[in-house]
Chains A and B, each alone.
Chain A
Amino acid sequence: MRKFWIIAKEVYKKNVKSLGFITMILSPIILVAIIGVIIYLISNTDIFSQDDTIAIVSGDESVRSALVETEFTAEKDLSITTEAEAREALAAEEIVGYIMASEENNTLTAEFVHTSRNNSQAVAILSSQLTAYQNALRGGALGLSAEEVNQLFEPARVSESVVRVEDGEIIDQDMTEYAIKLGSAYAVGIGIFIFIMTYAGIIAEEVASEKGTRIMEVILSSVSSTTHFFGKLVGVLFICFTQIGLYIILGIIGYQVFKDAEFVQQYIGGIDIGEILQSLLGFTLIFFIIGVFMYVVLAAFFGSLVTKIEDVNKAVTPIVFIAMIGFYGGLFAFGAPDQPLVLILSYIPLFTPFIMPFRIAAETVTQSGVWISILASGVFAVLLTFVFIEQVVLFKLAVCESFCNSGEDSKPDPYQRKDDPGSCPLSVYKSLKKIVKSCQWKHYRSDSICNFT
């Protein structure tokens, strides 16, 4: 047990102290910050900035004064009163545009001449302002009071309420709750994917580097391969928890600092943070942990198949593909949670963490269905671990292969093909085949898998 913690600590220390860990922690934050800044800039960018000036020209003084009172983002230059002056000012770039409005037989016409290409917002303001003015004018002509005009143009009241039908009963659906569940399912999908990619890489690298540098032999003459493997696994999981912990702390600090800021209020003011956290705990958390665990074990296994650290990326590729299928399955479930394909995929362990949260959010799965999928994933994760460990394939394989492929002082592997570089997909396939065989032939010690071709 002591050696187990020594290994876990070593893995933890080595990775947390590395520059890679700091960039790993910071990169999502930076990414989110950049996206936030972009969104902020876009939403605050009007056609005109506050320094811009426009002019209002009209033959009718009452129309003009109505427009002068209207709020545009740009300043208004009231000294300009004729079109000629306005064009001159525009040519001299003193103003960025001018509005020319006129009234005839209670019909208003306006032209907005400006240099900006994107103007829908200002035109919309202009249009609604002039329409209201025109309504008042025409109402006046018909002998209606302002009150009557308002009544005339009052829109009909339309409201919406979403329900679902369960056992013949109509039940009200809380749309915010649904949105929150869906949002957290989405967040978990992305979160699992990012964590899997990161930690699969880390553990595969851990395994491959020791194998590549032959440290494995020294370690395996010190501790059992089971202790070694679990030590590594736990070390990597602790790194994962550290990262999550840091995000929670940063999140709390960030929330405390910025919660009163205007732009934060604008976007998350209406959302109940407590409710989101509540939905993130519970099933979502279970799926997250099981998901990361399954993929990390799988990554350790694939990492043990290669002999050189340079080949880690190749070895991890199958995991990336599996996770990608899960991730896109999740996106598909987002749009169509009732599809039979989604239903099937949601019970397949490696895909469950991506897909089930969406089904929970859409309430297309019963509580027992969720537990079945959790159980299936849990059993799969444990089996995945023990099939490889109990057979001691994982690391004995390393020793065995180093015998088959190592330098001059070993006999050549009589079954090693000359054209086989040792780490190509073919050899991964061969290794897998060996493992499958050695699992079938339990009486064979794992180290004799060199015998299989």
Chain B
Amino acid sequence: MLEVKQLKKSFGDLIAVDQLDFTIKKGEIMGIIGQNGSGKTTTFRLILDLLQPDTGTVLWNGKPFRKKEYDSVGYLPEERGLYPKVSIEDQIVYFAQLRGKKKKEIIPLIDEWMEKFQVKGKRTDKVKTLSKGNQQKVQLICTLIHEPELIILDEPFSGLDPVNAGLLELGIKEAKEKGASIIFSSHNMNNVEEICDSLIMLRDGEMILKGSVQSIREQFGRTKIFLETPITAEVIKQMPGILSIRKTIDGLLELTLEDEKYGKAIFDLVTKDGYIQTFSQQPPTLEEIFKRKAGEIHA
């Protein structure tokens, strides 16, 4: 279990991370979202003791996180790096050895992992001969093959196509099932919604959102309605509490409400003649929340 308490780090006058507080239990995945420069990478470096916090503590299984815990860590930095002139196998073995594994423990696992992530190439191929995506997958293997208990992934999905992103999602879920505590940052809200148990959003180092994806969305109220009805937009617009109406690509009407309480009157209006195929009142998507929250910076 990873506990981060009241973490603060500043560089000169600039506060990179402020009053960070969260807990990731065994077998839980937490996502960190936030704009560029909001303090995500700094948070990871603070957790890993690569940077020293001004105040606050990081606890791993109830004890301060120290260097001897490094063997149970899998860390994928945001800027990827492998030794270009070394073979895939040597690379994986080297990093696993640095995490305290023995060479003979790792060698038999390599084929299986390369298959799992569909790495194109032989294990004797030099890293520099691989495409960027494949290099990234090799680095993911380096991050995960030693079965770490704490997995930190900085932008793991960036640069992966949907198929490979799917493979990575599977890999992360598998690690979760084995009981790892996982923390990752992403700009892709779909990935976050898909696999995160909980989520925090940072803005200028401050934690402005925290909780499960669903609970965060619910905080903003069910102010979206998607519906399919023969009644025209002009008629619906007469109803109170409607901020905007828009037609989506698949022919649905998307209504944005001032408050979720106006939903019932709209439901009554569109169902007065009985059956309709779609009426869905939803909270805003994570992406909308992200944009809205990020936009508040400039307000």
Contact = CB atoms under 8 A, between A and B. Distances in A.
Interface in B63-118: 67, 70-71, 73, 75-86, 94-95, 97-100
A219 B98 contact: yes
B50 interface: yes
B219 interface: no
Contacts of B79: 214, 402, 406-407
B188 interface: no
Contact of B83 (A3, A215, A407): A215
Nearest to A406: B79
Interface residues of B, number: 41
Contacts of A44: none
A399 B67 contact: no
A216 B82 CA distance: 10
Contacts of A396: 50
B75 A217 contact: yes
B299 to A, nearest CB: 21
Contact of B41 (A6, A409, A451): A409
Contact of A409 (B14, B37, B82, B99): B37
A210 B85 CA distance: 12
Nearest to B51: A447
Nearest to A212: B81
B42 interface: yes
B209 interface: no
A116 interface: no
B94 A214 contact: no
B180 to A, nearest CB: 15
B81 A451 contact: no
Contact of A221 (B14, B39, B75): B75
Interface string B22-65: 00000000000000110111100100101110000000000000
B98 A3 contact: yes
B11 interface: yes
Contacts of A220: 48, 50
A336 interface: no
Contacts of A410: 37, 41-42
Contacts of A415: 12
A213 B85 CA distance: 12
A247 to B, nearest CB: 26
A6 B75 contact: no
Interface in A386-430: 396, 399-400, 402-403, 406-415
Interface string B125-158: 0000000000000000010000000000011000
Nearest to B98: A222
A209 B95 CA distance: 16
B216 interface: no
Contact of B13 (A218, A409, A414, A445): A414
A18 interface: yes
A223 B14 contact: no
A411 B11 contact: yes
Q: Which 8 interchain pairs have the tightest Cβ spacing?
A: A213-B81, A214-B81, A222-B98, A215-B81, A214-B79, A217-B77, A445-B52, A221-B75
Interface of A: 2-3, 6-7, 10, 14, 18, 209-210, 213-224, 396, 399-400, 402-403, 406-415, 445, 447-448, 450-451
19 contacts: A221-B50, A221-B75, A222-B70, A222-B95, A224-B67, A400-B51, A406-B78, A406-B79, A408-B36, A409-B154, A409-B155, A410-B41, A410-B42, A411-B39, A447-B52, A448-B52, A450-B12, A451-B11, A451-B12
